């Protein structure tokens, strides 16, 4: 564990850390500006698989946070890069939204015309999911498609409270087909870490990950050697944090506390 002066890179979750739904969390913009002024490299790092980096860039910019697309790593982007590298000649059926499709098309992943013709099923958050969508995914897997999930989180912090995430959608497919996901690319997987470190050109030991999820952000931090900072503005409350059996270096009321915290003693 290092103090903030020794940290070179910041992997910053978005939902529950910078935003709650579409609402910018108080102090987030100012902390990001201060970190940059102090020479820290910032990477916005999210398991959101239903938006593209372009869409995330637009959201941050509209909130007054300056950002380049290359400073954003999303599970949609990582899934697209994974398919381009590992399945360059295979076709995918998508259970997801336009943001995921945008990333897949940018990576030149072939989109199948019918679910039964797909080599792969890519599953992500779908906030307008229908029975027909689920049934097409079911057909793809029954026809032999491998299941690739952007993430497996059970819920995420929305403006009106916790909302069901990919884990619930993926669970329905796994239960109906008696198949488990072949690959989950999102946090806490090494796929996300590899993309982040490639972009930052730093080792995990030089970085802090700040986020609201014990199961993805903090678990990934512990697994790969990042300093971890949990914020209580998203999916985790203090009672859950204090009963967590894994390593938590810091527990912060919100991201606004990051630059006001000594980050030398464990909280």
From the candidates 15, 165, 217, 249, which is the catalytic residue?
A: 15
Query: Is 187 annotated for ligand binding?
Result: yes
Residue that is written with structure tokens 């991201």 in the block: 255
> What DSSP string describes 9-34?
EEEE--BTTTEETTEEPTTHHHHHHH
Query: Is 58 annotated for ligand binding?
Result: no
Residue that is written with structure tokens 């935003």 in the block: 19
Query: Is 136 annotated for ligand binding?
Result: no
Query: Is 212 annotated for ligand binding?
Result: yes
Return the SS3 of 73. strand
Cis peptide before 188 (omega within 30 of 0): yes
Residue 13 falls in the annotated catalytic set: yes
Structure tokens at 24: 């910018």
Structure tokens at 222: 């512990």
Structure tokens at 89: 């000649």
Task: Give 145's DSSP letter.
Answer: P
Return the SS3 of 190. helix
Residue 119 falls in the annotated catalytic set: no
Asked if residues 148 and 84 have their Cβ atoms less than 8 Å apart, the reply is: no
Task: Give 103's DSSP letter.
Answer: H
Comparing C-alpha atoms, which of 126, 215, 207 is closest to residue 173? 126
Residues belonging to the binding site are: 13, 15, 187, 212
Which residues are annotated as part of the binding site for substrate?
187
Would you please indicate which residues are annotated as catalytic (active-site) residues?
A: 13, 15
């Amino acid at each position: 564990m290092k103090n903030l002066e020794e940290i070179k890179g910041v992997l910053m979750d978005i939902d529950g850390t910078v935003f709650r739904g579409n609402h910018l969390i108080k102090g987030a913009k100012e902390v990001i500006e201060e970190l940059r002024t102090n020479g820290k490299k910032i990477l916005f790092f999210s398991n959101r698989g239903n938006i593209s980096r372009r869409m995330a860039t637009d959201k941050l910019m509209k909130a007054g946070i300056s950002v380049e697309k290359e400073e954003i790593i999303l599970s949609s982007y990582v899934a697209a890069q994974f398919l381009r590298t590992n399945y360059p000649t295979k076709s995918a059926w998508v259970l997801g939204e336009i943001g995921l499709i945008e990333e897949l098309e940018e990576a030149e992943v072939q989109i199948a015309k019918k679910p039964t013709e797909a080599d792969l099923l890519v599953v992500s958050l779908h906030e307008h999911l229908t029975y027909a969508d689920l049934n097409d995914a079911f057909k793809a897997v029954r026809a032999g498609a491998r299941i690739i999930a952007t993430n497996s989180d059970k819920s995420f912090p929305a403006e009106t409270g916790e909302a069901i995430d990919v884990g619930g959608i993926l669970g329905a497919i796994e239960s109906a087909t008696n198949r488990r996901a072949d690959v989950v690319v999102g946090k806490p997987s090494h796929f996300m870490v590899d993309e982040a470190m490639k972009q930052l050109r730093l080792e995990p030991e030089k970085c802090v990950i700040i986020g609201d999820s014990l199961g993805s952000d903090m678990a990934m931090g512990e697994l790969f050697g990042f300093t971890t900072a949990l914020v209580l503005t998203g999916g985790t409350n203090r009672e859950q944090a204090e009963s967590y059996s894994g390593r938590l270096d810091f527990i912060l009321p919100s991201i606004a506390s990051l630059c006001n915290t000594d980050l030398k003693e464990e909280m």
